[in-house]
Amino acid sequence: MSARTPTIILGGTGYVAGELLRLVLGHPRLALAAIASDSQPGEPVQKAFPHLAAVCGELQYVSIGQATELAAQLPCSAVLAAAPHGVSHKLLDALLTRAAAAGTKPTIVDISADFRYADLGEYERVYKHAHGAPARAREFTCAVPEHLDRAPTPHMAHPGCFCTATLLASVPLLALDLVEPQIYVSAVTGSTGAGRSPIAGTHHPQRHSDFYTYNALTHRHVAEITALARSASGKEGRFAFVPHSGPFARGIHATVQAKLKKPLDTAAVIAALRGFYAGRPFVRVLNEPPRLKDVVASNYAHLSAVADGNTIVVMSVIDNLVKGAAGGALQWMNRLLGFDETDGLTTPAPGWT
């Protein structure tokens, strides 16, 4: 086997960074070179992720500045960015500028929202601040891996977890011209989707044994879903998106409903979904309703559908931290580096979590 590619993880203390670390340390073609956090440079990584102590050893965090210098020293490297929205674009711009000056070529996959929008005006409208590196936007493309055969730019951005689950269910309906453009989405996410810093909505006594909606029809991901669905399908969809907080830690269950353009039964729509995702190793289309426990902690997505002749409902389940973030990003990195798309990502869900 050829030498492993040195890999740098940026923004290294959150849940997604922990999943990136777990996946990179088990990857056959990548070698962890550094994990960076400006809040904990010099601190042992296992302090933030004690469940990874057996594989982290004495690994310590470096600063973002040190990681940037490392990317400038390595002839080629893989950079997986899990920094917050509104921060990542400036960090990556500085890293690419320093690497260009040194003549090195890092390959980047960003997991924040900073490079998901081709239209930076839309980004600014949604996130209420100007983009910090507008000249870099053309170097990134955002898509679910299953919806784009090859990367058209040197770097990629991975969609958000709600977006990934919704797009996996809805893009085939639009691309195959099966449905009217109005699409209704009800999606339930686990508490890890809100990040590591505790807030009222994710605090265990608040969320345990409870279920509630938030930001109905106004969630920031609607614009992202709409734009990426258009790019992936070539059709314009109108998404009425209602997110819910579920009383579990990991996973997303999305239910997508639309009016069929012509009558179809359940067998026909399941066959259409299977045809659309043929050859996509991480998407499985089932005859029965999908369950979160069958995908949690894995990079797999399970879909199923029902139709009554006039209406179609597609159910989609993913792990928000893996398929919806770290795993999807690593899937893109595998492609960008010319590896097999499945390298380091085929571990099945543990079940019974």
The answer to whether residue 330 sits within a structural domain is: no
What percent of the chain clears pLDDT 90, i.e. is strictly above it?
92
Predicted confidence at residue 196, as pLDDT, reads: 77
The answer to whether residue 150 sits within a structural domain is: no
Domain span at residue 173 reads 162-319
The answer to whether residue 237 sits within a structural domain is: yes
167 lies in the same domain as 222: yes
pTM value is 0.96
Average pLDDT in the chain:
95
Q: What is the pLDDT of residues 138-175, one digit of tens each?
A: 999 999 999 999 999 999 999 999 999 999 999 999 99
Burial class of 1 by CB neighbour count within 10 A (0 to 12, 13 to 18, 19+): exposed
**CATH number for 184:** 3.30.360.10
**Mean pLDDT across the stretch 327-350?**
98
Q: What distance in Å separates the CA atoms of residue 305 and residue 3, rounded to the nearest whole number?
A: 43
The number of beta carbons lying within 10 Å of the beta carbon of residue 17 is: 27
Out of 56, 142, 161, 163, the active site residue is 161
The answer to whether residue 28 sits within a structural domain is: yes
304 lies in the same domain as 183: yes
Predicted confidence at residue 205, as pLDDT, reads: 80
**CATH number for 130:** 3.40.50.720
Q: Which of the listed residues 76, 111, 142 is the one where a domain comes to its end?
A: 142
311 lies in the same domain as 167: yes
Sheet bearing 140-142, strands edge to edge: 30-36, 5-10, 76-81, 105-110, 155-157, 140-142
Between 195 and 126, the more confident residue is: 126
Predicted confidence at residue 2, as pLDDT, reads: 62
The answer to whether residue 149 sits within a structural domain is: no
**Mean pLDDT across the stretch 206-222?**
92
178 lies in the same domain as 222: yes
Give the number of domains in the chain: 2
Q: What is the pLDDT of residues 267-283, one digit of tens each?
A: 999 999 999 999 999 99
Predicted confidence at residue 243, as pLDDT, reads: 97
106 lies in the same domain as 177: no
**Mean pLDDT across the stretch 312-331?**
98
The answer to whether residue 333 sits within a structural domain is: no
114 lies in the same domain as 230: no
Predicted confidence at residue 199, as pLDDT, reads: 76
Res 121 pLDDT > 70? yes
79 lies in the same domain as 209: no
79 lies in the same domain as 203: no
Between 198 and 189, the more confident residue is: 189
187 lies in the same domain as 302: yes
Q: Is 142 annotated as catalytic?
A: no
The answer to whether residue 96 sits within a structural domain is: yes
The answer to whether residue 300 sits within a structural domain is: yes
Q: What is the pLDDT of residues 61-111, one digit of tens each?
A: 999 999 999 999 999 999 999 999 999 999 999 999 999 999 999 999 999
Res 1 pLDDT > 70? no
234 lies in the same domain as 126: no
Q: What distance in Å separates the CA atoms of residue 291 and residue 299, rounded to the nearest whole number?
A: 14
205 lies in the same domain as 292: yes
133 lies in the same domain as 185: no
